[in-house]
Structure 1
Amino acid sequence: MFLPLDKTLVIAEAGINHDGDLDAAIQLIDAAVAADADYVKFQSFVAEELVLPIAERSTYIVEGSHEGESFRDLLKRLELDRAGQRQLSDYCKSKGIKFLSTAFDLQSLDYLCDEIGCDVIKVASADLTNLRFLRHCGTKNVPVILSTGMADLPEIDEALQTLQDAGTKEICILHCVSWYPSPPEIINLRAMHTLRDRYGLPVGYSDHSLGTTLPAAAVAMGARCIEKHFTLDPTAFGPDHKASLSPAELKEMIERIREVEAALGTGGLAPDDIADIELSQRRVHRRSIVTTKSINKGEPFTEENLGIKRPGTGMLPRELDLILGKPAARDIQAEVLLEPEDVAK
């Protein structure tokens, strides 16, 4: 399995937030490294292969476009050419972080897999119904991370079957909501459980909400992979900046995710699963059987002369019923722990 077993895979999504500037893309890689992400991901496309000049735009895309700029014009301005993608991949290697890019056309997919050597394919939600593209992914013999924004279960069924029939052996499904930014009330994190239970595959979450809360919540719910947009400046002009984290927020998100992972534990409650530091608190917080009055030798133990108080270093409270009615083996002071030898046989 390409997903790590001991931690959540975190993909820092730089996407198109470089605004077509290779120096900005390099700075985004540096920010992802500083945040301790596992991958930094960009987007690879040829604008003419992706959209018609008359393609519709969402409101957030319109807001991030220059006046008179078509969807194709916008994407053309944000394209990374092959030399640039190679430079970014090489820079990632030099910095010890994995390079990833979402391909939006067959040419870009071939370049990323066959030339750059990406070790995983990330399929965008927009291509979940693009069966020709999915079949081509299946020929690359690498794992696939599949986003499912906008998709219903029959569409996801078809996409997964297509990938598997084409030869894809490892798939992680990312729950996703394709709106930027996504308000919490439409995110439906429990959909991850639906996907996991239906397909028996690892699941994750591609987050388009504001802030760092929901990725950590997704990890607590079983997400094996988290993808999140980030930018050098969330106030910058462009379609994705305002739904992206700052570098400091990206670092904070990953720290929160790692804290949640540490807190999840194994789920075991056998004696060996309880931490020594917690076991030591039994002495402090648990209770023992104690005398509430002075008891003479031979006097029977009763509810009136015995009680249950801290500390938890004496006879266990569960033994009280076994002691009641038995005689004291010696004279015993009030307000002391009862010892086994105090009880006559």
Structure 2
Amino acid sequence: MGARSYGDQQVRIGSREVGPGRPTYVIAEAGANHNRDLDTALRLIDVAAESGADAVKFQTYTAEGLYSRKTPTMSYLTDADLLENQESVFEMIKRVEIPWEWHDELAEHASRAGIDFLSTPFEEKAVDLLERLDIPAYKIASYEVNHLPLIERCAATGKPLIISTGMASLTDIERALDTANAAGASQLVLLHCAVNYPPRFEDLNLRAIGTLTSAFGIPIGWSDHTMGHTADVVAVALGASVVEKHYTLSRDQDGPDHPFALEPDELTAMVTAIREAEDSLGSSVKRVTEAEHELFRLGRRSLVAAGDIAAGKPLARADIAVKRPGYGIAVHELDRLVGKIASRDIEADEILTWDLFA
């Protein structure tokens, strides 16, 4: 695979420019944590808005469009005892799928809350529904990176595509991007992702954010399933333009996505930490900052009189002390100062300046 750009360096999602040098676009992933209760779904939107996230995201699918009834059960579901009454994975998905008639009210509620409304389509019919709502971008889940007809359908809308890349090789990603480009998409974002629920930190490989940036020349982000927000701050420091994170009203609720999701106060803390990380990255220029000016002047060392010095006396090394403040003769000029003649009497602890010497 040859390195080339698959799209623009800056992508517009709603009113936001997303890409290098722009604030991280934070997606609060509600997923299936609505519990098929509309009031819970609406409250999740409020929590996302209150946290400072840029977007709230649900998932639009049907069990029939997502799974064969013969799909074996994933071990993480059985290990965490997330299946009820020995139900199949198909039956579990049927139990947690979002009612499609909710979408209008959810989108309107998000608009009133001042947050972008997104939902991940898992089948082509879902794109038709979401197009009617005029969502600002489409998210392709890691599991769908090889669902080329879905990618083609989303790309044909002309909206930006955010493609997660968990479990994907560079060849998989290139194929997905080629498909999107061929369908007319140039506003593309990739999200590095480690698929497990939750994954181990040693499996995150966050340096792959740089690999994806070099390989594809488009904005790269991070879709996270870890607990806490350490990985999200690290991802931002490594250049992530988007961060996506699952959240819930309470991890004590039943459902497949609750156990690894952040609770409301933790989501707020994550967004705050991301904004602080962005501020702390600042500039690559090593300089004295405006905030340091006073202490640079008063807290660093310069040369002062070690004792009283009479006019006309040549300075010896013993006449010079290195003390604060820092606005006298610079310490690195000490050898040059030795032997200079005092042009007037100098008091002990007086800050030495060149105009005191002949």
TM-score by length of structure 1 reads 0.93
Aligned to 2:327: 313
TM-superposition CA deviations, 1:205-234 (whole Å, max 9, x none): 111001122212222222111100011111
Moved more, 9-18 or 182-191: 182-191
Find the aligned partners of 1:106 and 1:197 in 2 and give their Cα distance: 31
Find the aligned partners of 1:253 and 1:270 in 2 and give their Cα distance: 29
Aligned to 1:175: 192
Find the aligned partners of 1:237 and 1:57 in 2 and give their Cα distance: 18
TM-superposition CA deviations, 1:96-128 (whole Å, max 9, x none): 221110000111122212x11111010000011
RMSD: 1.8
TM-superposition CA deviations, 1:249-276 (whole Å, max 9, x none): 11111111122222222333456xx22x
Instruction: Give 5+ residue unaligned stretches, structure 1.
Output: none
Aligned to 2:158: 141
Shift of 1:321: 3.4
Shift of 1:6: 4.3
Q: Which amino acid aligns with 2:300?
A: R
Confirm or deny that 1:50 pairs with 2:83.
no
Find the aligned partners of 1:16 and 1:174 in 2 and give their Cα distance: 20
Shift of 1:306: 1.7
Match of 1:162 among 179, 189, 197: 179
SS of the residue 1:168 aligns to:
coil
Moved more, 321-330 or 246-255: 321-330
Find the aligned partners of 1:336 and 1:39 in 2 and give their Cα distance: 60
More relative contact order, 1 or 2 (CA 8 Å, 6+ apart) = 2
Confirm or deny that 1:14 pairs with 2:33.
no
Aligned residues: 340
Shift of 1:57: 2.5
Aligned to 2:356: 342
- 1:276-287 to 2 correspondence within 5 Å? 277-287=291-301
Find the aligned partners of 2:54 and 2:146 in 1 and give their Cα distance: 28
Shift of 1:242: 0.3
SS of the residue 1:101 aligns to:
strand
SS of the residue 1:280 aligns to:
helix
Find the aligned partners of 1:60 and 1:200 in 2 and give their Cα distance: 35
Is the contact between residue 60 and residue 239 of structure 1 (CA under 8 Å) also seen in structure 2? Answer: no
Moved more, 12-21 or 212-221: 212-221
Match of 2:236 among 199, 202, 219: 219
Find the aligned partners of 2:187 and 2:316 in 1 and give their Cα distance: 67
Q: Which amino acid aligns with 1:19?
A: N
Confirm or deny that 1:290 pairs with 2:307.
no
Aligned to 1:304: 318
Find the aligned partners of 2:317 and 2:177 in 1 and give their Cα distance: 67
Q: Which amino acid aligns with 1:143?
A: P
Match of 2:94 among 52, 76, 94: 76
Shift of 1:132: 2.0
Find the aligned partners of 1:127 and 1:86 in 2 and give their Cα distance: 25
Find the aligned partners of 1:13 and 1:307 in 2 and give their Cα distance: 61
Aligned to 2:274: 257
Q: Among all aligned residue pairs of Structure 1 and Structure 2, give the percentage whose two residues are the same amino acid.
A: 39
Find the aligned partners of 1:335 and 1:89 in 2 and give their Cα distance: 70
Moved more, 299-308 or 130-139: 299-308
Instruction: Give 5+ residue unaligned stretches, structure 2.
Output: 1-10
Match of 1:120 among 113, 137, 140: 137
Is the contact between residue 20 and residue 79 of structure 1 (CA under 8 Å) also seen in structure 2? Answer: yes
Is the contact between residue 8 and residue 224 of structure 1 (CA under 8 Å) also seen in structure 2? Answer: yes
SS of the residue 2:259 aligns to:
helix
Confirm or deny that 1:235 pairs with 2:252.
yes
Confirm or deny that 1:268 pairs with 2:285.
yes
Find the aligned partners of 2:339 and 2:182 in 1 and give their Cα distance: 75
Find the aligned partners of 1:94 and 1:256 in 2 and give their Cα distance: 26
SS of the residue 1:281 aligns to:
helix
Moved more, 178-187 or 331-340: 331-340
Aligned to 2:82: 64
- 1:84-123 to 2 correspondence within 5 Å? 84-113=102-131, 115-123=132-140
Q: Which amino acid aligns with 2:98?
A: L
TM-score by length of structure 2 reads 0.89
Moved more, 295-304 or 124-133: 295-304
Aligned to 2:6: none
Find the aligned partners of 1:164 and 1:322 in 2 and give their Cα distance: 67
Shift of 1:305: 2.2
Q: Which amino acid aligns with 2:72?
A: E
Find the aligned partners of 2:92 and 2:344 in 1 and give their Cα distance: 92
Moved more, 164-173 or 291-300: 291-300
Q: Which amino acid aligns with 2:171?
A: P
Shift of 1:342: 1.9
Match of 2:50 among 17, 34, 38: 34
SS of the residue 2:317 aligns to:
coil
SS of the residue 1:137 aligns to:
helix
Shift of 1:178: 0.7
